[in-house]
Amino acid sequence: MKKVAFYTLGCKLNYSESSSIARMFEAKGHSRVEFNESPDVFIINTCSVTENADKKCRKIVREAQKINPDGYVAIIGCYAQLKPAEISEIPGVDAVLGAAEKFRLADLVDTFEKTPVGQPAKIMASHIDEAVDYHTSYSLNDRTRTFLKVQDGCDYPCSYCTIPLARGKSRSDSIQNIVKAAYEIAAREVKEIVLTGVNIGDFGIQNGERRETFLDLVKALDEVEGIERFRISSIEPNLLTDEIIEFVAQSKRFVPHFHIPLQSGSNKVLGLMKRRYKRELYAERVAKIKSLMPDCCIGVDVIVGHPGETQELFEESYRFLNELEISYLHVFTYSERENTAALAIKPVVPKNIRADRSKMLHILSDKKRRSFYEQQVGKAGTVLFEDEVQDGQMLGFSENYVRVSVKYDPLLINETKFVKYEQLNEAGLMEVTEVEAEVLVH
């Protein structure tokens, strides 16, 4: 039996898959340990979204070698699928597994042998078209919330993105399997499930055919006993239908929080990006949400510095975002990715200008978040408290994603409590001094 450690980079989806692969090892009698506990096997789950994938991977491999020079190092994830040969040349790496192979790790562990010094690592990475199987995954690292994968892959070839090349075509689990997993999670006393995937609004494709819809899934999960909250992690604006918004507005368990990628507030740049909507549709979605759920939190993904984004177009995007009734931004600075259509688009935005635009949007995000929090002062909500403690204060998230700070009380950990929002502290968190004595029950 071996000691196995994981290091996960990137998105919630990667965390859900690392956790599930770890449980496969545990089911075979192996033990999961921390990265610094001299494991026999190091598994590094990589990301390809940022341009630093190579640097991060190399650094983690070096650390693994320091911790246990005899440890077996396997690389999985999007970077492993996109550039297996490049990774195989990294000193210390023993195996590179692609998207179709990574869930076989626990079955292959008995065949693991260190690669002789100076030789490339073993590559087990099929063409992405062979990544057609769906593997149910969910994280169990944090007992207050779990990331539950409901969909994988993407059929949207945006000009800047490598994810379709790294994860393959859109495919989904069945509603029956997802509901079963939700009950398994509920049995672990987890209170909140975050639905995750590459393009979850495209949920329902099984074996190449659309059989169910995301609305069907949301309705089924709303009936799952034992889970207090479901949160939708990210959904494309053209797939966020009025019916989904209307259902969430009156549901028992889905919280008033949407994260909706925009990427640009300029229709010309959206066209260059090959996005499937115009900014007018995005504004309609925000208006619809706010009309039904005035206190709903709305997060936005934005990319700055995409090729073709002139100063005029950036300012157009900035004004659009400034006027939208949104709550915060996730700002990404465009970085060149191999085999993407964006590489052929001109003019290229200099990196120093990309950085300046990113800074402007980060400041706008801080302003939007503070404004949203200030609108909540004097109102009340429910907060799921976590075991994170800072300076004698513990933290939690409200149903509409307000970060709340209260004096530490061990009895509050993993409990949902009713609170009144009092004021913002210096860190910009919502402070409360009292919580309701009884746990809320739906």
At 233-272, the pLDDT tens digits run 899 999 999 999 999 999 999 999 999 999 999 999 999 9
Higher pLDDT, 326 or 389: 326
Name which CATH class applies to 145-372: alpha beta
Name which CATH class applies to 3-130: alpha beta
3-class secondary-structure state, position 176: helix
pTM of structure: 0.92
Token pair belonging to 286: 């925000």
The percent of residues above 90 in pLDDT, for the chain, comes to: 82
Residue 272's contacts (CB-CB under 8 Å, 6 or more residues apart) are: 159, 306, 307, 308, 309, 342, 345
Local confidence band at 398 (pLDDT 50, 70, 90 cut-offs):
very high
- Give me the residue label for tokens 């479901």: 230
3-class secondary-structure state, position 421: coil
| Structural domain spans, the chain | 3-130, 145-372, 380-431
pLDDT of residue 152: 95
pLDDT (mean) for 2-18 = 92
User: What is the DSSP code (8-state) at residue 111?
Assistant: G
The answer, yes or no, to whether residue 96 has pLDDT greater than 70, is: yes
- In total, the chain counts a number of residues equal to 442
| Burial readout 317-348 (b: 16 or more C-beta within 10 A, e: otherwise) | bbebbeebbbbbbebbbbeebeebebeebeeb
316-351 pLDDT per residue, tens: 999 999 999 999 999 999 999 989 999 999 999 999
Token pair belonging to 207: 């074996």
Strands annotated E in 25-181: 31-32, 41-46, 72-77, 95-97, 122-124, 145-149, 151-152, 171-172
CA distances from 331 to 171, 193, 277, 360 (A): 27, 24, 19, 10
Token pair belonging to 118: 């100076």
Q: Name the strands in the sheet holding 192-196, side by side, starting at the edge strand that comes first in the sequence.
A: 145-149, 192-196, 229-232
Same fold, 3-130 and 145-372: no
